[in-house]
Amino acid sequence: MNSDWYKDRVFYQIWPRSFKDGNGDGIGDLYGVYEKLDYLKELGIGGIWFSPFYPSPNADYGYDISDYYSISPEYGDLEIFKKVLDRAHSLDIKVILDLVINHTSDEHEWFRQSRDKDSPFRDFYFWRKGKKPGKAPNNWSSFFSKGAWTLDPKTMEHYLHLHHVKQVDLNMDNPAVREEVKKIMRFWLDMGVDGFREDVITYISKPKTLPDDVFFQAVKGLRFYDCGPRIHEYLQEFRTDVLDKYDCFTVGEAPMITPEKALTFVSGPHPDLNMVFGFRHMEADCLLKEYIPLPFNLRKLKRAFTHWQKALNGRAWNALYLENHDHPRVLSRYGSEKYHDESGKMLAVSYMLQKGTPFVFQGQELGMTNFALKDISQYKDCVAHNVYARAAKILPEKLVMSVIQRATRDNCRSPLQWSGAANAGFSEAEPWFPVNKNYPSINAEDEDRDSDSVLNFYRKVIAFRTQSDIVRNGDYKELMPMHPHLYVYERRWQGQTLLVICSFTEKACRFRFPKGFDPSKAQPVLCNYKNAPQADGRTLLTRPYEALVYKFY
Ligand code: GLC
Ligand code: CA
C-alpha cells in the first residue's frame, strides 16, 4: 500500500451482469469483459473495479456472497478471470475487486452452520434473543427490508441484517471472522489483484451492547454502527497484516460520511484506507436518498464538491464519481436528456478535472440515461420492491411507481449499449433485463465513429487529465459559489492555472472572467461545442450545458 499509482489513473466500474454477454445466455460475464478490454484501453482507462462476480443467490445481485473464493458460473470461472487479469495487466490496467465483508449471504456455509446454537460459527453473526417474545432485540431498521432482525424459529433467536434478509451481518468482533477476511484478501492479492473497493466498510464495527437507535439521530443518518467503536482498529489490522505486504490500494464505501470524518480513515502516516467514496454530492436532487426527490440544486452540488476538495487538499486523496451501480443515471438527474450530448460531456468535465481519482461507471461514457418500466414486477432491484411493498399500501400506486421509476438502482443496471443491433449488441439472446429503448441512438459503435460523440469526448477528457500535472497536483478553488447555474473552479500548479466553467442550465448565462484571468491569454483546452464560445471582451455568454476549460500561463 505504498505506491501512488492509483492517483494517476481513471477507473472504470464494471457491473458484470450488464456489461457484455460473451457466451450467449443473456447475462453479462467475464468472457464479455475479456472481449472488451481493448475498448477500455482506448477509453484511456487505467483501472477496473469489478462489482461482485462471486457465487451468490442474487438477492442483491452479488452483494450477497455465498462463496468468497470462486466465480459465479453465471459469470465464468477462475480460469477466465485469470485471463482477464493477465490481459488487463498487459494493457497496464489495474484490477480491483469488491470486498463485501459487512455481511454474507444467508446461503453462505458459515451462516448455514451458524443456525445451530452449538456450532463454532454461531458467533460469526449476531444472534440475539428478542427483548420480549415476538419483539426484535433492538429497534434498528434495515435499508432493504422491514426491520433489521429476522427470527429463526429453530432456535427462537434473531439474526441481524442491516440490508436484505438474505444479507447477514458478520460479527467482526470475533477474531476468527477477521482471520477469514484476511484469508479472502490474501487469496485474491496472491492471484495478482491490485486492491479492493470495500463495501459499506464504515458499518463493520457494531457496539457490543447493540443499543437502540435514538430517533432524532437516526433520522439524520447517525447510527451506532456507523464508524463504530473498533472500526479503525480492524482496518489497521487488515492493513498491517495483509495490505502492507502488497502493492495494492483500497477505496472504502462510506455512506453519509463527512470529509472531516473521512480524514480519520484516509490521512496520516498509516491510513486505514487510501480513499473513500462519500455520498453528499449525490444528494443535489433529493433528501438523503433518491427516493425523496427534490428539484436539482446546483449550489448544493457545488457545496459538496468544494467541501471535499478543500478538506482533503494536501492531507488525503479524493475519489471522484458521479455514477455507480447504486444511483440512477446522472445525465437524467443533473444534466438534461433534451441536451443529451452537451450535458453528458459537461458532466464529465465537471467532476473529472477536480483533484482526485475519477471513476466512470459502465455506460456513463456513452451518456446512457434512465428509463422507466411500467410495472413493479419488471424491476429487479430489491430496494424498489421493498419501497413498493411498504409505500403502495398507503400511497396511490401511480405516485409510488413514479418515484420508483426515478429512484431505482435499475436505472443504471440495464445492459450496456454496444451497438444499434438487436439487444443493443449486448447479447444474442434475450437479455436478463430489458435494454433501454434509446440504444439505436446511444451506443458505443455509433459513438465510436462520430468524432463529436459523448464517448469521444470522454476519451479526450481522460487523455487530458491523465497527462496534466495541473489536474493531478494543482490546488482547487471554487469561484462564484453562489451562482445558481454555473459551476466554476480553478486549479493552480507551479504558475499555471486551469479555469473550468460548467453550465448546468439551458439558459444563457453571462460569465465575466474574474480578476487575474486575462481572456486574451486564455488557451482553450476543452469545449463541448464545435465552435468557439460567444465571447465579447471580458465576458462570454454560455450555451446550453456548455463546458469550457482554459489554460493560463
Ligand atoms: C453497498 C453496495 C450496494 C449494496 C449494499 C449492500 O452500498 O454498493 O449495491 O446493495 O452495499 O451490500
Ligand atoms: Ca453470459
Give 278-336 pLDDT, tens digit per residue: 999 999 999 988 999 999 999 999 999 999 999 999 999 999 999 999 999 999 999 99
Answer for the pair 424, 418: CB distance below 8 angstroms, yes or no.
yes
What is the rounded average pLDDT of the residues 43-55? 98
Q: pTM to 2 decimals?
A: 0.98
Comparing 94-103, 130-139, 420-429, the range with the smallest average pLDDT is 130-139
What pLDDT is stored for residue 3 in this prediction? 74
Q: Determine which residue's CA is closest to atom 4 belonging to ligand 1.
A: 63
> 488-537 pLDDT, tens per residue?
999 999 999 999 999 999 999 999 999 999 999 999 999 999 998 888 88
Q: Candidates 60, 65, 288: which one to mutate for ligand 1, based on the most atoms within 8 Å of Cβ?
A: 60
What is the rounded average pLDDT of the residues 189-216? 95
Residue 450 annotated in active site: no
Superfamily for domain range 474-552? Golgi alpha-mannosidase II (2.60.40.1180)
Catalytic residue among 157, 194, 198, 199: 199
Q: Which atom of ligand 1 is nearest to the CA of 144?
A: 10
CATH fold match for the domains 109-169 and 474-552: no
CATH architecture of 5-102+175-359: Alpha-Beta Barrel (3.20)
Answer for the pair 488, 499: CB distance below 8 angstroms, yes or no.
yes
The response to whether residue 170 sits with its C-beta less than 6 Å from ligand 1 reads no
What is the rounded average pLDDT of the residues 192-198? 98
> 446-494 pLDDT, tens per residue?
999 999 999 999 999 999 999 999 999 999 999 999 999 999 999 999 9
Residue with cell 457496539: 207
Distance 199 CA to ligand 1 centre (A): 6
What pLDDT is stored for residue 348 in this prediction? 98
Residue 445 annotated in active site: no
Q: What is the mean pLDDT of the chain?
A: 96
The response to whether residue 60 sits with its C-beta less than 6 Å from ligand 1 reads yes
Q: Is 272 helix (H, G, I), strand (E, B) or coil?
A: coil
Whole-angstrom distance, CA of residue 409 vs CA of residue 384: 8
The response to whether residue 163 sits with its C-beta less than 6 Å from ligand 1 reads yes
The response to whether residue 200 sits with its C-beta less than 6 Å from ligand 1 reads yes
Whole-angstrom distance, CA of residue 231 vs CA of residue 204: 7
The response to whether residue 285 sits with its C-beta less than 6 Å from ligand 1 reads no
Asked whether the predicted pLDDT for residue 366 surpasses 90, the reply is yes
Distance 219 CA to ligand 1 centre (A): 20
Ordered by start, the domain boundaries in the chain are 5-102+175-359, 109-169, 474-552
What pLDDT is stored for residue 1 in this prediction? 47
Asked whether the predicted pLDDT for residue 116 surpasses 50, the reply is yes
Distance 164 CA to ligand 1 centre (A): 10
The response to whether residue 381 sits with its C-beta less than 6 Å from ligand 1 reads no
Q: Which atom of ligand 1 is nearest to the CA of 60?
A: 10
Q: Candidates 102, 142, 199, 202: which one to mutate for ligand 1, based on the most atoms within 8 Å of Cβ?
A: 199
How far apart, in Å, are the Cα atoms of 109 and each of 116, 178, 443?
A: 12, 16, 42
Return the C-alpha cell found at 354: 477536480
Query: What single DSSP character describes residue 522?
Result: P
Q: Determine which residue's CA is closest to atom 3 belonging to ligand 1.
A: 326
Nearest of 535, 481, 527 to residue 508 by alpha carbon: 535
The response to whether residue 365 sits with its C-beta less than 6 Å from ligand 1 reads no
The response to whether residue 410 sits with its C-beta less than 6 Å from ligand 1 reads no
Distance 77 CA to ligand 2 centre (A): 12
Radius of gyration of the chain (CA): 23
What pLDDT is stored for residue 288 in this prediction? 84
The response to whether residue 199 sits with its C-beta less than 6 Å from ligand 1 reads yes
What pLDDT is stored for residue 495 in this prediction? 93
The CATH number assigned to the domain with range 109-169 reads 3.90.400.10
Nearest of 300, 374, 378 to residue 333 by alpha carbon: 300
> Rounded to the nearest 5 degrees, what angle is found at the Cα of 520, between the Cα atoms of 515 and 523?
100
What pLDDT is stored for residue 145 in this prediction? 87
Query: What single DSSP character describes residue 338?
Result: T
Max intra-chain CA distance, the chain: 80
Catalytic residue among 21, 253, 290, 447: 253
Distance 33 CA to ligand 2 centre (A): 10
Q: Give me the helix-helix angle, 231-241 and 175-191, nearest 10°.
A: 40
Q: How many CB atoms lie within 10 A of CB 75?
A: 27
Q: Which amino acid, 100?
A: V
What pLDDT is stored for residue 331 in this prediction? 98
Q: Which atom of ligand 1 is nearest to the CA of 163?
A: 6
Within 13 Å and on the Cβ side, how many CA atoms surround 205? 12
What is the rounded average pLDDT of the residues 128-154? 93
Answer for the pair 170, 125: CB distance below 8 angstroms, yes or no.
yes
Asked whether the predicted pLDDT for residue 365 surpasses 70, the reply is yes
Distance 179 CA to ligand 1 centre (A): 23
What is the rounded average pLDDT of the residues 86-110? 98
The response to whether residue 64 sits with its C-beta less than 6 Å from ligand 1 reads no
What pLDDT is stored for residue 212 in this prediction? 94
What pLDDT is stored for residue 396 in this prediction? 96
Distance 64 CA to ligand 1 centre (A): 9
Q: Determine which residue's CA is closest to atom 2 belonging to ligand 1.
A: 199
Asked whether the predicted pLDDT for residue 96 surpasses 90, the reply is yes
